[in-house]
Structure 1
């Protein structure tokens, strides 16, 4: 088994444990990887989003851009027309589903009844019989967001960050606020940084598992809308 296969299986096993514990889990855990050539000499921090030609009318992408824009504003960025922007921001996103099989214990007790506790019942609530194990399969969903920032004038990439999390949430829309906050919450990260971010459920600006998409900013007087 090569390194890639081992890493993928380990990640899926951890995600399966997350699903099993989802009833008591109160945090969304996201792994963030950043590559940076951010100098810090970047006044003003003006930006515009850029898209491939075939994505110009993508409403899903528009919703995610609004989330990213709100996070960038918190770091002194200001969204402007693309012709005046110092930086161009491009998003990549996706979701993959897998099935993970986990061995779970099954106990047998031939004497059902109240459990009185030790020392009255020395075997515990499941009696003296050891557990058997049954394989259970669970769906695991991996969500991914990439944010790439380039200089408009030169095309030079100055920041590239990826956020990834896995669990039982089947909706990328519901996972996206956690991905965005994890990816950009500590902007700018140093080059080659990999770290883990934990965000409490429901702390993304709305109720748990709900998405609140900020409205698009009003264009400046006389500004031309990006094409």
Structure 2
């Protein structure tokens, strides 16, 4: 099959980009902030979820509680009836949408193939040139999860952690597994710790089984852990 020069180079570019992207892993990056006076031991980690009166029959909150419960279980927490629980766990959550505007270049290539430029044509000294910039607007969504742990007997707050991330995902329920896993990674964190957690993106929009990789260094003391977060 005969191809004109432009078609040939377009196919070369597409093939090269496909090869580059196929070896990449996409991560969900979440900022986590913790405040802590935690002194509990594994033997005392019994808890029950607590709700405000207007949240009694909230199915959305029930869904998020199940996700958080799965993460708490990995840290030796055991869910019991509220009358027997040492701790009460309350959740707060939300999503906010904004528009971001980016100036993107418009490219023009005045020379025909094969001189289309590196790296796709190693012998070509020239490539496409930006001739103008066009403003493009895109929606961005910020997702938030807060987990507050109090002592049932005294009402004293002993742990409060928030997780926040942003991206093109418009569904809070799809973002929630990443928020919950990030918020409770390396529990308990020290007081005033701010850190970044990176979790591999799962194709089914759920938390991946892969170990999260270190992200940017964060301030404050942190508990030792074998996985999930940067120190």
TM range (shorter): 0.7 to 0.9
User: What pairs up with 1:9-48 in 2 under 5 angstroms?
Assistant: 26-41=26-41, 43-48=43-48
TM-score by length of 1: 0.75
1:185 has 2:181 as partner? no
Instruction: Indicate the SS of the match to 1:61.
Output: helix
Tell me whether 22-31 or 64-73 shows the greater mean CA deviation. Answer: 22-31
Structure 2 unaligned regions, length at least 5? 1-20, 209-231
Q: 1:211 to 1:195 in 2, by over 3 A?
A: closer
Q: 1:137 to 1:78 in 2, by over 3 A?
A: same
Give the CA RMSD over aligned residues.
2.3
Q: Contact 2:150 / 2:157 at 8 angstroms: preserved in 1? A: yes
Give CA-to-partner distance per residue, 1:119-171, whole Å, 9 cap, x none: 753222x1xx4442111111000000000000000000000000000000001
Question: How far apart are the structure 1 equivalents of 2:85 and 2:201?
Answer: 34
Q: 1:113 to 1:69 in 2, by over 3 A?
A: same
Q: 1:96 to 1:86 in 2, by over 3 A?
A: same
Give CA-to-partner distance per residue, 1:8-33, whole Å, 9 cap, x none: xxxxxxxxxxxxxx996610000000
Instruction: Indicate the SS of the match to 2:187.
Output: coil
Number of corresponding residues: 184
User: What pairs up with 1:145-160 in 2 under 5 angstroms?
Assistant: 145-160=145-160
Q: Contact 1:174 / 1:211 at 8 angstroms: preserved in 2? A: no
User: What pairs up with 1:58-137 in 2 under 5 angstroms?
Assistant: 58-115=58-115, 117=117, 120-124=123-127, 126=128, 129-137=129-137
Aligned to 2:212: none
Instruction: Indicate the SS of the match to 1:107.
Output: strand
Offset, 1:41: 4.3
